[in-house]
Every structure is written in structure tokens, then in C-alpha cells.
Amino acid sequence: MNLSLPDQNMHSSGEGCLEDDKPDVMLPCFRRNMYDEPLASYSNGSIISQLLRKTIHNKRALDESHFYLSSSTAADSGPEDQSSVSSKDSAVEAASPSGHVSTGASPEGEHPITDHLQAKRARVENIIRVMAGSPNSRQHGDSERSDTDARDSREAREAYRENKRKQRLPQHQEHSAAGQVSRKPGSSNTDNCNSKDEECHKLKEQLHSMQRLLRQLQEKFLQVYNQEDPEYDNRDDTEAGAERDVLEQESRYLSGEDDFERKNSSRMTAECKERMKVVGYLVHQRESQNLQETLKQELSRAVNDCVDRVFKKASSTGLDLSPPQRMCASPEISMGADRKSQQAGSALDQPQAEEAAAKSRSLEYYESSEAQSPQDQTEALSLVVRKPAAAPLSSVTPTVKRPYPVHQTPFQFNYSTPLHDSHILEHLLKYGPHSNFGGLPCMPPSMDRTSPDSVDLPWDTIAMRSKVTSGHLGHHPRPSSLGAVTVDNLCLPHVKIECGELQSMAERNPYMSLNIQEGLTPSHLKKAKLMFFYTRYPSSNVLKTFFPDVKFNRCITSQLIKWFSNFREFYYIQMEKFARQAIVDGVSDVKDITVSRDSELFRALNMHYNKANDFHVPDRFLEVAEITLHEFYNAVSAAKDSDPSWKKAIYKVICKLDSDVPEEFKTSSYL
DNA sequence: AGGAAACCTG
DNA sequence: CAGGTTTCCT
């Protein structure tokens, strides 16, 4: 490698290969190629298509042999790679190696113009071969070099230059690969495994080499057509037509855009040099853009494939992936279906659908060893930082009793459990989100008991989860691979169930007797009255717990509180009334005042709170009523009622007599 | 049952 | 001060 040789063009072109193309930088080197290379015959098909095929082969060789990575010696590549590449080369263009030597013996000017095309093709092929550094081409290059050395010293210089190019490329590669790519999958690889790291690194470097290759190809082609422009004058119509055909095919291959067709057809009629130049410039620009896009697409796809392969190899070799790695790998795994849709949405809808299809096909071939087809990947999806599938909460197994607040503990559905969304929805509609899911066989025991803190769980969350569950539980593509997955961790759009929707569903479902609605219904009032037999001072949390089918808001909560306030009002009014009545009746001892189910007081209360008398009033309520009556009797007897706030003392006493509302009030509507 | 107002409380 | 409670009233 002659470092003294001015090879900045290669270097700078390599540098600019990531951001912008610099055809002018490539120009000198390429011009030398143009005029010094021997001639070869143009076969059918376009230059670009053939070159792309070649590039694909080279990429394949690179991929399989890691040629670039292993100091670019021919011994590094496997024999299969050589055979495949060489066979392909001979198959695609039979003229390439031999044609080089044979036709190269004659100077360029002495050949007809068809030979000129062949020469250009051969030069480009040679460039690609050298750039790819495939052992096959290397052999050709060696023989060619020997031949050309005898003939022309320029050939030797060119070969020398290219040889140096070969060796500079990996240098730059390592540079850029270490600088740029290492933080992409490398960041996801907090490696516990060196081989995986190496694999990842190799793949990254391959990617870079491929990227560079494509970029150089693009520049070469730009130069090819730039060189051809001044020659249009000297051509006859057929040759110009052939050239146009080549351009057309290539442009169609690269863009497939209609406006380009229009430009092409207009160019068909143009004869003048300026016209051709303008059109050629447009073509070049378009091709450049197309190549750029192609490069981007292919690069990102290749990055994805690399990451996929790394993880696949790691998993296939039984390497235990640490949790952070799995977190990075799981989006990839779960993205299989997404990628298809994304591909359908992004790449195939584009005007370059044909190109994308061709690219994917070639990539499929290029990655023929891979069982997984990378064709669906059009973006660097693996590099997209997604919400980790294994969020901290998901590590909580379903059997873990709730050490966290319920609103942090998501519903966890085991996909192995056959569960239909209708079950959950039915349960939600019947018992509400705050009711326990113990009745459902799939529900973990952590959800069996609903404690008062569970009311912090907003109904929206439940609704969203139920929607998510209904949408994805039934037909998850890979249930077994994901295992128990928390619904929370599915990166799915949060769809809120409308109350009306649920209501209509409930109406259609005969099993759903309780509607979920914004407002409070008479049924809720009745239930509240029955609850009053247990609790006179229910907290808002208790209310939310025992009214799971109510979408709580400030108004609803106030309404429920007001209800109980009214209940208390009536209750205390009755107590005061009966206490005063007892005093009026001459009851001298508090112990003579009792409250039984036959009491007038109880009848009044039962009439008020249990009008239908279909509820068995708990005995505890009778006790509390008796205590309250005694308190009022004592207070009135002590003339404490002169104090405007004399009842407050009684309230303090009574509020401590609340008992727990039975669970049936949660799980049953009592309607 | 509910509105209004005063009152209480964190 | 917001929200809840009590009281009074209709």
C-alpha cells in the first residue's frame, strides 16, 4: 500500500459516503478507469442492474466470509464463496475476466463504439470487484495486472491504486464502524458474551463496507454517464438508442417513477448534445437520489438483519441473554408482524415498490442462509428505542401477592390460558373494574381480593386494558414465546371504551344486567341505602369500591356522599324524634329503650332504606340504631340540645360504629 | 331528593 | 382554598 499516492479521493469519498455523495471527488480516479481499462462487451441488461447483482454477490461473499474484516486475504474466504462468486460472474457476464484481457490488448480508440460500452462495463465491473475485494476478482485482478503490466504501466498503476484502495477501505471501515455503528446495537449489547459482540461488530463492519460499496457504485455510474455525454455527438442513432435503453432500464430499475418515464421519452426525441446533457444530468441526479434512497433502505435493513442474526445466533447457541439484552431483543422478536405491515405501508406503497421488491429479493438471496426473511425490513427498526417489552412491572409474576398498589400492578394474563375477551368484558360489565377477578380462571390471585386502595385504579385504565386485551389476546402471533405478558407492556394504542359502547354491549348481552354509565341510577340509590345498614359514614374510597360500575368523577362522588348525608339526616332525625318521643313517653331509663325489628323506629328506617323489605337488615344495624337512640336520649335528657352543635358529639360516636360492607356488594349488583 | 348556605378540614 | 359535611329549606 503506497501511502504516498494521493488517494484522498477514495478517502474523502469514503468519508462522505454516509452523508453526501461527492462525485467530483471520485472523478479523477474514475476517469482513469474509464480510459485505461480494457474493453468488454455489453451484454443485455443494464449496467446498473448487473452491477447491483454483482454487488449483491459481493455482499454475499462479504457476509459469509467476512472478507473485509479479516485483512482482505484471499485465503480468508471460503471456497464456496469463491465458486459462487465466480460462477455467478461467469453466468452473468461471460466476458468479464477473459474479455478484460483479450480486448484490453487493443487501445480504446481503435475499437468500435459498442466496444466502448463494453469497456465501460468492464471498468465498472473491475472497480466493483476490486472494491468488494472478492477473492475471485482478486485472482482476475492479479492476472490482469500481470498482463497489463506487460502492456501498459497505467494499468499497473491502476491496479496498484486499487490494491491500495482495497486495503484502505477496511481501515476506514473500522474507523467509521467503531465510531458510528458501535453505539447502535452495541448499546443494546451490554454483553456478557464476547462472541456475540464480535459477531455484532463484524456485521456492523460488513454493513459499512456494503454501504461504501454502494456509494462508490453510485459515484462510478455518475462518472460513467458524465463521460459518455460528450460522446453522444459521434454516435449514430442506434447506438444512442441503445444507450438510452440502458439508461431507461436503469432508471426504471432504480426509480420506476412515471415522471421519469416522461423525461425519458422526451429524451428519446432529443438529438442535440445540450438536450442530452440536460437529460443526462437529470438522470444522474435522479439515479443519485435513487441510489441514495436505496442505500439508506438497504443499509437500515442490513443493520436490522445484523442485529437479528446476532441475537438469533446468540439464542441458537444457547447463550443466556441477560435481561437487558432480552429487553432489546424482544422488540425485534415481536416486530415480525409489525414489520410486514410497515413494509406494506411504507416501502411497497412508494413509487419505488419495484425496486424495493427487487432489493428485498436480492437481500433474501444474499441472506439465503437465514431462515428469517429480511424482506420486510425497510427501516432501522432494531435501532428504534422502543418501550421495553420487559418493563419492571412485568417481572412481577402473576403469583406474587400485591406488594405494590393495585394501580401499579397490571392485570397479567397468561397467554397459555385460553381466555376470551368476552369473558373479561363480561366480567367488567357485570361486576365492574373494581370487582375482583377471582371468578375468572385466568386471573392471578393477586387480583382476588380487592382492598380499599384498589379504588385508585381508574376506570379508564381498566377500560383500556380490556380493550387491549380484547384486541390482542385472542390472536397473538407468538403467545408461547412471550409467555405471561402484561397487557400494560404491549405497546398498543390506548383505546378508550366509550360508555355508550359498553352500555350497548351490555344491553345486547343478557348476562350483563348492570350498565356502566356516567350517572347514578335508582339502582345505585337502592344499593347505597342498603349499604347504609352497614356504614353510615362511607369514605369515598369505599363508595368507589362498592360502586364499580360507576364511572366516578367529582360530581358522582359528591352525589354519592350527598346521598349518604341525606341518609344520615333522615336517620338522625328519626333518632332524635324517637328519643324525644321516649322522653315524652316518660321512659326513665335508657335501658328501657331498645330497638328491635318490631320497633316503630326500625320500621321507619327499614321503610326508608329497604322499602321493598327484600333485604335482611343486619343485627348490627339494630345495635347501632339503639346506641344512637340512647345517645340522643341522653343528650336531650341532659338538655345538651341547647347547644347548636350538640349532635356532633353523637355523630362522633356513631361514625365509629360503622361496619364493613359485605363483599357481595362489590360483586353483586343487588338489583 | 336536592339546592343553598354555613361550616369544617386538610 | 377545594372539597366535604351539616343544616335548613323546599
- What are residue A414's DSSP bridge partners? A484
Contact between A490 and A468 under an 8 Å Cβ cutoff? The reply is: yes
Residue A653 Cβ < 7 Å to strand C: no
Residue A563 Cβ < 7 Å to strand C: no
pLDDT tens digits, one per residue of A31-72: 333 333 333 333 333 333 343 344 334 433 333 333 333 333
Residue A554 Cβ < 7 Å to strand C: yes
Work out the pLDDT band at A304, boundaries 50, 70, 90: low
Protein CA at A583 to nucleotide C1' at B2, angstroms = 32
pLDDT greater than 80 at residue A663: yes
pLDDT greater than 50 at residue A207: yes
Residue spans of beta strands (DSSP E) within A475-519 = 484-486
Residue A561 Cβ < 7 Å to strand B: no
Distance CA A439, CA A431 (A): 10
Residue A427 Cβ < 7 Å to strand C: no
- Scan for cell 360483586, then name that residue: A667
pLDDT tens digits, one per residue of A551-592: 888 788 888 888 888 888 888 888 888 888 888 889 999 999
pLDDT score of A556? 83
Nucleotides of B under 7 A from a protein CB: 1-2, 8
Protein CA at A519 to nucleotide C1' at B9, angstroms = 28
pLDDT tens digits, one per residue of A131-140: 444 333 333 3
pLDDT tens digits, one per residue of A416-468: 222 333 333 333 333 333 333 322 222 322 332 333 333 333 333 333 222 22
| % chain A with pLDDT above 70 | 23
User: Over chain A, what is the mean pLDDT?
Assistant: 48
pLDDT greater than 50 at residue A159: no
Work out the pLDDT band at A518, boundaries 50, 70, 90: low
A581-590 CB contacts, 8 Å cutoff, 24+ apart: A582/A629, A582/A633, A583/A633, A583/A636, A583/A637, A587/A633, A590/A630, A590/A633, A590/A634
Contact between A489 and A387 under an 8 Å Cβ cutoff? The reply is: yes
Work out the pLDDT band at A480, boundaries 50, 70, 90: very low
Distance CA A142, CA A154 (A): 15
Residue A563 Cβ < 7 Å to strand B: yes
Nucleotides of C under 7 A from a protein CB: 3-9
Residue A539 Cβ < 7 Å to strand B: no
Cβ neighbourhood burial of A223 (10 Å; 0-12, 13-18, 19+): buried
Judged by C1' against the alpha carbon of A648, the nearest nucleotide is C6
Rounded to 5 degrees, what angle do the CA atoms A552, A555, A559 make?
A: 95
Instruction: Calculate mean pLDDT across residues A229-248.
Output: 38
Residue A566 Cβ < 7 Å to strand B: yes
Strands A484-486 and A412-414: antiparallel
